[in-house]
Amino acid sequence: MGFKTFIKSKKILSLLAVLTLTGTHLVMAQDAAAPATAAATGDAADAAKSAMWTGVEYYLLLFLLACVVIGIVGKILKVYDLTRQIQGKSELNWNGLMASICIVFLVVGLYGAYWEFTVQGTETLPEAASVHGVKIDEMFNVTTGITMVVFFITQILLFTFLFRYRHSSKRRAHYLPHNNTIEKVWTIAPAVVLTVLVVFGFFTWQEITNSADAKGQPSSINIGVTGHQFKWELRYPGKDNKLGAVDYRLVTADNKLGIDYKDKNSTDDLQADTMYMPVNKSVRLNILAQDVIHSVYMPHFRVQLNAVPGLPTFFKFTPTITTADMRNRLNQPDFEYLLYCNKICGGIHYNMKLIVRVVNVEEYQQWLSHQKPYLTDALKKDLKMASANQQKSITPNRLALNN
Amino acid sequence: MSTVAVHDHGVVHHEEGHGHHHKETFISKYIFSMDHKMIAKQFLITGITMAFIAMTLSILFRIQLAYPDKSFPLMETLLGRFAPGGRLDPNFYLSLVTIHGTIMVFFVLTAGLSGTFSNLLIPLQVGARDMASPFMNMLSYWFFFLACVIMLSSFFIQKGPASGGWTVYPPLSALPKAMPGSEGGMTLWLISMICFVASSLMGGINYVSTVLNMRTKGMDLWKMPLTVWAFFLTAVLGVLSFPVLVAGVVLLIFDRSMGTSFYLSDIVLNGKVMPFEGGSPILFEHLFWFLGHPEVYIVIMPAMGISSEIMSVNSRKPIFGYHAMVYSLIGITVLSFIVWGHHMFVTGMNPFLGGVFMITTLIIAVPSAVKTFNWLATLWRGNIRFKPAMLFAIGMVSFFISGGLTGIFLGNAALDINLHDTYFVVAHFHLVMGSAAIFGMLAGVYHWFPKMFGRLMDEKLGYLHFWLTFIGAYLVFFPMHFMGLDGVPRRYYAFTEFESMKRWLSVNVFITWAAIMSGMAQVAFLYNFVTSIFWGKKTTQNPWQANTLEWTAPVEHFHGNWHGEIPTVYRWPYDYSKPGAEEDFILQTTPLSETMSSNLPSDFEDNPVGLEAHSKWVTANRPNEEVK
């Protein structure tokens, strides 16, 4: 086969090696020239660049060295194995070696998992700062307990079986094609456990996602959250605790949310830069997106819901721990609750955050009284002009409703 | 066509065996081949190439995550405008993530896995000379190749490849102005995906019809190896769900290029009011995940089938609960159509619907659990040979357990609220469908390499490859769970903007180096694969002492698989270590009449004549048995 000799040819191989080396050198030279022409990179950056270059070459050589070492070790093993065979001794027992590595892997792996749980497991989110979050955490702990038992048992069985039943030419495997009893047991047992999890999960989920205020309950504080590339806009209702209607067709430079001021509820709507919430009061987020899908994610409250253009979504929850309290509990004086985007939305997706503060009711009222209304003077002027021009009223023309 | 069409089995008009009744040119043998074995190799090599490309992309973005503030001039040299100043552009980072996901899920683990092994094994294991339609099979490969070329070509256009995530949710993917990747790159992504689905459908229809119509004499459905069952059910799943993706994609093309509003409504982009009205982005999510969820089973089921077969062969023991294994595969197939909504718990879908999807999702865990326990029972009291293929099959089981258990968290809608789209999800699916499926695929490569190339792969390099990859994959994905539990979102270009995420930087550095190590380990595989094709040790006809039909075919390849008549099948494929048998394996082609000493009454279900003969033989030979 021509192809085979082509690969095997030492000339071709050495030519390839020379090409690679000169190639990298050329590339390096090019790059060394680049900073000279491009100004304003700074000395530090240049130094970093040159350091990096030795780095890449260094790692490449290191890898090649590792390959050579592996090759040599392989050859040595082969020679060793052959001499043993010539001397009439048995071949190297690779099968037994693999079985031993399995058991070593099991022990080291179990320790590794334990280490991860104790070290990194403590670096996860602090306790839930909302009423429903506590329930989610409870369910999380139960699920973790059950699954970890299964995890450890099955992995331990898997690797000990491998070691225990490694190959031996002296015995035969046990012919066991099926056993209906045990199969029934391990079909029904997971089914029962999962049913329990499903039932609890289902009711908790129904409770959490019920975003309407029940009759007789004090009404929730409505907060509007609107996402667009790459910022969140907040809207607080005024004294009426009702957010006015919005229509995307009304969006202008001054009316960035497209608030419809024909709706009387709109006139006292307030804008804000930080999301303030009173502690132990039910809050209802009115979530919307203007351009692409975003996701309102507030992990400390165990809150997440997508913001979808054209589909308003709602999440009702009750924060229970104030920011100040949480700072004390975590012993982090600069701790802040955060709201960030958790659905890919474009280049700056990774930096779309909003600070959330939970305060007591008095502070909240005080803060609210300092917020400015959306209806600015400029906007008022625009609106007047619009009505003077007798603009046609926009009628909704939706073909499909999603909610 | 008639010169190359393969004759029906059983009817041999002229000597097929000599193979020169029609001359094969280089083009008809290696390029536009209609031989299922060659097409399988084409799929495999294309799949491996795509896997290496996707792996390189992942290492690029892992470097960004580990060293977000460092500049790597090499990146600028290699990527040019996509990495100005040696640092990845945030938009290009998203492109890398998107294309890594797309290539791995569709091009490697769907086409590379199903395409390779369904093509190779279905005809060989059911006893057929080729696929039902060899020509369509060839088209299937070339559509796949075209899809690969189109997908990769998007790296060479001005604005770069698609970057809206592999799920390409509109409006991000539908509005060209929303991000650079949603311009030309997205168009190429959509075209590539349509070619890919065409390829998948042609392949799938072929697999289904071959399994249903072309089994050899005696090969009833309950005598098929689990590999064939898995490929068959996978193909059924693909044929029923892939068209839905095309529907979704075509509507997206309309929205992008023809001004329709299937997925778009109420949009203000960069302060500009867009004219779209009445659509719903949720509709796309439904259409996408109606394929997308079966897709993860399309990925994992062949790996399950391959692992079952390999574990049985190398434990020298029948697979435990063959019927339960088949029924659980069927259960997974059926249930996988009604669980897609668990990807959409927090999208604003009606919460009641979310509750229903949660119930169906957790039900699908039952057949998965049954499979896991059956694998463990297969190993129990086996006589385990650690071939590289066996190690990879075991790795598949280990990953499937680790990743599958976290699925119980994510399938629970209430828990999903806080875990959705975090690194917990990344860890979950990379273990359960990424690593597990790729290990199934590698197990298959090591196991059937002799069948494909007539030579053996080097075992020692295989061991090295396995341990480095296995440990590396755990080191990469295990810590990610904890990042997810701390609320670290996926698809973030850098974690430097959030004070609370900075503490994960050291973990990210660790993960990146573990990923680089596993990446380097693949070089051992590549070297082993390429050199073994040309210089590997020549194989014998049945190197693993396996029972299935493909090992009765001659080592040398010719179009038609068997000289003379296709062998007849008399027994199920898992008669390993049967008490009373001379050797610890009995080929499927050995009639029960030749193995009187090892027959069991259960071998004669629905065969009263055989059972009578068996009981007669037992009474006649009982004294001998007792003497033993």
Domain count, chain A: 2
Give phi and psi for B488, each to the nearest 5.
-85, 120
How far apart are the C-alpha atoms of B108 and B105, rounded to whole Å? 6
Q: What is the dihedral of CA B178, B183, B187, B190, to 10 degrees?
A: -30
DSSP secondary structure letter of residue A130: B
Say which of B271, B380, B577 has its CB closest to residue A253.
B271
- Could you report the per-residue pLDDT of B520-532, keeping only the tens digit for each? 999 999 999 999 9
Residue A289 lies in a domain: yes
Report the CATH number at residue B137.
1.20.210.10
3-state per-residue secondary structure call for B426-455:
HHHHHHHHHHHHHHHHHHHHHHHHHHHHCE
Based on the domain organization, do B572 and B533 belong to the same domain?
Answer: no
pLDDT at site A266:
87
How far apart are the C-alpha atoms of B167 and A248, rounded to whole Å? 26
Which candidate, A144, A54, A390, places its Cα nearest to that of B424?
A: A144
* Position B191, amino acid: I
Distances (CA, A) of A259 to A251, A252, A275, B206: 8, 10, 19, 57
Is some CB atom of chain B closer than 8 A to the CB atom of A158? yes
Domain count, chain B: 2
Residue where one domain finishes, among candidates B473, B503, B538: B538
Based on the domain organization, do B504 and B582 belong to the same domain?
Answer: no
Which candidate, A171, A164, A157, A182, places its Cα nearest to that of B320?
A: A182
- Could you report the per-residue pLDDT of B32-84, keeping only the tens digit for each? 889 999 999 999 999 999 999 999 999 999 999 999 988 888 888 888 889 88
Please state which of the ranges A267-271, B7-11, B54-58 shows the lowest mean pLDDT. B7-11
What is the per-residue burial (b if ≥16 Cβ within 10 Å, else e) of B243-257?
ebbbebbebbbebbe
pLDDT at site A27:
59
Based on the domain organization, do A261 and A133 belong to the same domain?
Answer: no
Is residue A230 reached through a cis peptide bond, with omega within 30 degrees of 0 on the bond before it? yes
Report the CATH number at residue A372.
2.60.40.420
Confidence check on the interface: ipTM exceeds 0.85, yes or no: yes
Check whether B605 has a pLDDT greater than 80. Answer: no
Identify the helix (H) or strand (E) that includes residue B278. Answer: none
Based on the domain organization, do B276 and B135 belong to the same domain?
Answer: yes
Three-state DSSP at A317 gives strand
Ranges A178-182, B9-13, B304-308, most confident: B304-308
Residue A395's region, left for phi above 0, alpha for psi from -120 to 50, else beta, is: beta
Interchain contact, B382 vs A174, CB within 8 Å: yes
Interchain contact, B169 vs A348, CB within 8 Å: no
Q: Which residue has the tokens 């190639």?
A: A23
- Could you report the per-residue pLDDT of B191-214, keeping only the tens digit for each? 999 999 999 999 999 999 999 999
Mutation target to probe the A interface, by most A beta carbons within 10 A, among B71, B226, B415 is B415
Based on the domain organization, do A160 and A226 belong to the same domain?
Answer: no
pLDDT at site B25:
81
Residue A378 lies in a domain: yes
Is some CB atom of chain B closer than 8 A to the CB atom of A352? no
CA closest to A192 among chain B residues: B366
Residue B139 lies in a domain: yes
pLDDT tier at A394, thresholds 50, 70, 90: low
Q: What percent of chain B has pLDDT over 90?
A: 79
Contacts by B261-265, CB closer than 8 A, 24 or more apart: B263/B170, B263/B171, B263/B174, B264/A309, B264/A310, B264/B170, B264/B171, B264/B174, B264/B175, B265/A309, B265/A310, B265/A311, B265/A398
| B5 vs B515 pLDDT, higher one | B515
Which residues of chain B lie closer than 8 angstroms to A209, CB-CB?
351, 354
B25: tokens are 């040119």
Interchain contact, A143 vs B270, CB within 8 Å: no
Based on the domain organization, do B402 and B260 belong to the same domain?
Answer: yes
Contacting A residues, span 211-270, partner chain B, CB-CB under 8 Å: 228-229, 248-249, 251, 253, 256, 258
Q: What is the dihedral of CA B78, B81, B86, B90, to 10 degrees?
A: -120
Which residues of chain A lie closer than 8 angstroms to B273, CB-CB?
248-249, 251
Interchain contact, A147 vs B408, CB within 8 Å: yes
CA closest to A41 among chain B residues: B85
Based on the domain organization, do A157 and A190 belong to the same domain?
Answer: yes
Say which of A154, A198, A341 has its CB closest to residue B358.
A198
pLDDT tier at A88, thresholds 50, 70, 90: confident
Residue where one domain finishes, among candidates B507, B538, B569: B538
Interchain contact, A397 vs B579, CB within 8 Å: no
Distances (CA, A) of B505 to A338, B58, B59: 19, 17, 16
Residue A282 lies in a domain: yes
Based on the domain organization, do A192 and A264 belong to the same domain?
Answer: no
Other Cβ atoms closer than 10 A to A184: 11
Interchain contact, B348 vs A311, CB within 8 Å: yes
Residue where one domain finishes, among candidates B512, B538, B564: B538
Residue A21 lies in a domain: no
Interchain contact, B409 vs A140, CB within 8 Å: yes
Three-state DSSP at A215 gives coil
What is the per-residue burial (b if ≥16 Cβ within 10 Å, else e) of A360-374?
eeebbeebbeebeeb
DSSP secondary structure letter of residue B221: G
How far apart are the C-alpha atoms of B43 and B28, rounded to whole Å? 16
Closest approach of A319 to chain B, Cα-based (Å): 15
In order, the DSSP letters of A362-399 are: HHHHHHHHTPEES--HHHHHHHHHHHHTTPPPPPP--S
Based on the domain organization, do A144 and A235 belong to the same domain?
Answer: no
Based on the domain organization, do A196 and A295 belong to the same domain?
Answer: no
Q: Which residue has the tokens 């071959």?
A: B210
* 8 Å CB contact between A280 and A274: no
Residue A99 lies in a domain: yes
Residue B33 lies in a domain: no
| pTM for the whole structure | 0.90
Residue A372 lies in a domain: yes
Is some CB atom of chain B closer than 8 A to the CB atom of A313? yes
How far apart are the C-alpha atoms of A202 and B358, rounded to whole Å? 7
Based on the domain organization, do A146 and A230 belong to the same domain?
Answer: no
Based on the domain organization, do B603 and B464 belong to the same domain?
Answer: no
Please state which of the ranges A231-245, B381-395, B460-474 shows the lowest mean pLDDT. A231-245
Based on the domain organization, do B524 and B581 belong to the same domain?
Answer: no
DSSP secondary structure letter of residue A333: T
Based on the domain organization, do A230 and A378 belong to the same domain?
Answer: yes
Based on the domain organization, do B190 and B51 belong to the same domain?
Answer: yes
Residue B27 lies in a domain: no
Based on the domain organization, do B487 and B556 belong to the same domain?
Answer: no
- Could you report the per-residue pLDDT of B280-299, keeping only the tens digit for each? 999 999 999 999 999 999 99
CA closest to B598 among chain A residues: A175
pLDDT at site B270:
87
- Could you report the per-residue pLDDT of A328-363, keeping only the tens digit for each? 999 999 999 999 999 999 999 999 999 999 999 999
Contacting A residues, span 355-394, partner chain B, CB-CB under 8 Å: none
Residue A79 lies in a domain: no
**Average pLDDT score over chain B:** 91
Residue A65 lies in a domain: no
Residue B577's region, left for phi above 0, alpha for psi from -120 to 50, else beta, is: left
Check whether A34 has a pLDDT greater than 70. Answer: no
Based on the domain organization, do A257 and A282 belong to the same domain?
Answer: yes
Interchain contact, B318 vs A201, CB within 8 Å: no
Mutation target to probe the B interface, by most B beta carbons within 10 A, among A306, A313, A353 is A306
* 8 Å CB contact between B401 and A154: yes
Distances (CA, A) of B26 to A393, B30, B556: 72, 6, 17
What Rg, from alpha-carbon coordinates, does chain A have?
A: 33
Give phi and psi for A13, each to the nearest 5.
-60, -50
Number of residues in chain A: 403
Based on the domain organization, do A229 and A318 belong to the same domain?
Answer: yes
Residue B62 lies in a domain: yes
Q: Which residue has the tokens 């090295």?
A: B464
Q: Which residue has the tokens 């985007």?
A: A341
Identify the helix (H) or strand (E) that includes residue A353. Answer: strand A353-359
Structural domain including B594 reads 549-627
Residue B341 lies in a domain: yes
- Could you report the per-residue pLDDT of B413-455, keeping only the tens digit for each? 999 999 999 999 999 999 999 999 999 999 999 999 999 999 9
Based on the domain organization, do B329 and B412 belong to the same domain?
Answer: yes
CA closest to A123 among chain B residues: B486
Residue B24 lies in a domain: no
pLDDT at site B518:
94
Based on the domain organization, do B330 and B459 belong to the same domain?
Answer: yes
Q: What percent of chain B has pLDDT over 70?
A: 95
Number of residues in chain B: 628
Check whether A403 has a pLDDT greater than 60. Answer: no
* 8 Å CB contact between B117 and B306: yes
Q: Once rounded to an integer, what is the mean pLDDT over residues B8-12?
A: 43
Say which of B409, B474, B492 has its CB closest to residue A349.
B492
Residue B28 lies in a domain: no
Closest approach of A124 to chain B, Cα-based (Å): 4
How far apart are the C-alpha atoms of B142 and B151, rounded to whole Å? 14
pLDDT at site B16:
43
Based on the domain organization, do B178 and B248 belong to the same domain?
Answer: yes
Say which of A178, A206, A344 has its CB closest to residue B351.
A206
SS3 content of chain A, % helix, strand, coil (to 5): 55, 15, 30
pLDDT tier at A277, thresholds 50, 70, 90: very high
pLDDT at site A7:
58
SS3 content of chain B, % helix, strand, coil (to 5): 65, 0, 30
Closest approach of B217 to chain A, Cα-based (Å): 24
How far apart are the C-alpha atoms of B220 and B222, rounded to whole Å? 5
Mutation target to probe the B interface, by most B beta carbons within 10 A, among A3, A4, A198 is A198
Based on the domain organization, do B505 and B555 belong to the same domain?
Answer: no
Please state which of the ranges B2-16, B48-62, B85-99, B504-518 shows the lowest mean pLDDT. B2-16
Based on the domain organization, do A307 and A228 belong to the same domain?
Answer: yes
Interchain contact, B415 vs A52, CB within 8 Å: no
Based on the domain organization, do A261 and A300 belong to the same domain?
Answer: yes
In order, the DSSP letters of A255-296 are: -TT-B-TTSGGGTT-EEESSEEEETTS-EEEEEEESSS-EEE
Structural domain including A200 reads 94-166+181-209
Which residues of chain A lie closer than 8 angstroms to B463, CB-CB?
94, 98
How far apart are the C-alpha atoms of B58 and B52, rounded to whole Å? 10
